[in-house]
Amino acid sequence: MPTTSPFYHFPSPAKLNLFLHIVGRRDDGYHELETAFQFLAHGDDIAIRVSTKREVSLITPLIGVSNEDNLIVKAAKLLQETTKTTLGADIKINKVLPMGGGLGGGSSNAATVLLALNLLWKTQLSYQKLAELGLSLGADVPIFIHGFAAFAQGIGEKLTPITPEECYYLVSKPDCSISTQTVFTAKDLPRNTAKLLATLSINEIDINQCHNDCQTLVIKQYPKVANLLAWLVEYAPSQMTGTGACIFSRFASEQEAKRVQALLPLDIQSFVTKGLNKSPLHQALTAIEAEVNH
């Protein structure tokens, strides 16, 4: 085998929390959730080539994040240690997802690296094992590993497949970044929403009637989020995803979503995309596996 392989490109998609109910708090400080995840046809691009040196090199460091703290590097090293592979990797990321937006960018990056290197290093771990590894990096990593839209319980790791409508979304972000840790440690965060599954089956849950328990807290503390949300709800059903700061607005057509996007204030970051019930990463993995094994 040569010292280096070609670079292979893997999508690292965003996710939405279509709702987020906090139903309790565990003794270890983690929160018990009920939420629905859906993927977006929009995300970062991660390029990886295998190296015979047992080093993980992130060629494109992110501003404000040391390589050692980056979930990309942590995921690669975790897989190395777990599988005892003698191989390494050179990794590049084209980062388009905003940090502190609630779109799961860091978790998605970690999952993409675990799945991609499991393929390229031929370490052959199951999705279940990769999800367990990923959970140690972040609560949202397993959803990206498994790659199907899901109703999630626990801290987000107990997943049941669902098929919400794959509609078009306008995703907007004001000029602020929100720390997930800050939101989840806030004293006045609601932590006792009634469990949906205590009285309903998954098929009976109307996602559009659910809410985000973090939203009230965030709009009190971040006026820019409050103002953007108030503006967007005039045009379409709109809600914060995760702990924010991104807000998603639901539309029946791409054309209508882009019409409202064009009206947004100039200081608002935004994109229009489609909701997906299967992760684009998993479609790419199938194609690259065929190429690698050719």
User: What is the mean predicted confidence (pLDDT) over 178-183?
Assistant: 90
Which pLDDT band, with edges at 50, 70 and 90, does 100 fall under? confident
User: What confidence category does residue 4 fall into, taking pLDDT thresholds of 50, 70 and 90?
Assistant: low
My answer on whether omega of the bond before 245 falls inside 30° of 0, hence cis, is: yes
Positive or negative, the CA dihedral 59, 65, 67, 69 is: negative
pLDDT band at 155 (very low <50, low <70, confident <90, very high): confident
Q: How far apart are the first and last CA of the chain?
A: 15
Q: What's the pLDDT at 156? A: 86
Domain count across the chain: 1
CATH number at residue 123: 3.30.230.10
Q: Is 45 a catalytic residue?
A: no
268-275 average pLDDT score: 98
The crossing angle, in degrees rounded to 10, of helices 105-120 and 280-292 is 20
Which of the residues 44, 74, 90, 140 is marked catalytic? 140
Q: Percentage helix, strand, coil, to 5, in the chain? A: 35, 30, 40
Please indicate whether residue 206 is annotated as part of the active site.
no
Segment 140-157 shows an average pLDDT of 95
Its domain, for residue 114, covers 1-294
Q: Average pLDDT of the chain?
A: 95
Q: What is the mean pLDDT of residues 27-48?
A: 95
Percent of the chain with pLDDT over 90: 89
Q: Please, which pLDDT band fits residue 217 given cuts at 50, 70 and 90?
A: very high
